[in-house]
Amino acid sequence: MPRARRARLIGAERSSVWEVISDPHHLSRWWPKVVRVEAVQERSRGTGTLWTKVLRTKAGRDVRADFRCLYSKKPSAYAWEQEVEGSPFAKVFRSAVTRIGLDEDDSGTIVELKVEQRLRGMSRLGSFMLKRATATQLDDALEALAGLFERAPEETPSNP
């Protein structure tokens, strides 16, 4: 079972980070390859919320993937599961779960992303490649999430 885990300190209050990571509408702002989120069916307190991510491939094709919130523990933990049965992803995955943890730090919020994927059939042979690609995806997600809250230092103008 491929697992990938990444963490990063983000210079923002935990409540601010929570508002972004716990709202599927914000996924296109920070989750890699997501161009938009559709069909959000919100449930009270988040658990059970359903949504569809529209992902763009390198070839420019859009692919839809359905997700469901497994749990929402404000302000410290959020998780979603991809609904793979009956989708094109069922050829590769038995399950795919993403967990997000938020911890307070003096300098901001420590965000930890974890992905656990159970592969189906021959796909298991490529688990090491999938783990590496997933780790890169998590690094990109944390970079984009940090970019929503942290400003790059302004460049100082040079003297002519």
Q: Cα separation of 105 and 14, whole Å?
A: 9
| Residues above pLDDT 70, as percent of the chain | 83
Helix (H) or strand (E) holding 129: helix 127-149
Query: What residues does each domain of the chain span?
Result: 3-149
Per the CATH hierarchy, to which homologous superfamily does domain 3-149 belong?
A: START domain (3.30.530.20)
**Residue 107 pLDDT more than 80?**
yes
Q: In the predicted model, what is the mean pLDDT of the chain?
A: 86
Name the token pair of 142.
């944390």
pLDDT-derived band at 130, boundaries 50, 70, 90:
low
For 117-128, what is each residue's pLDDT tens digit? 887 764 555 555
Which position has the higher pLDDT, 3 or 25? 25
pLDDT average, residue stretch 86-92: 72
**Residue 152 pLDDT more than 70?**
no
List the helix and strand counts (H, then E) for the chain: 3, 7
Q: Cα separation of 11 and 107, whole Å?
A: 6
pLDDT at residue 104, as a whole number: 95
pLDDT at residue 158, as a whole number: 55
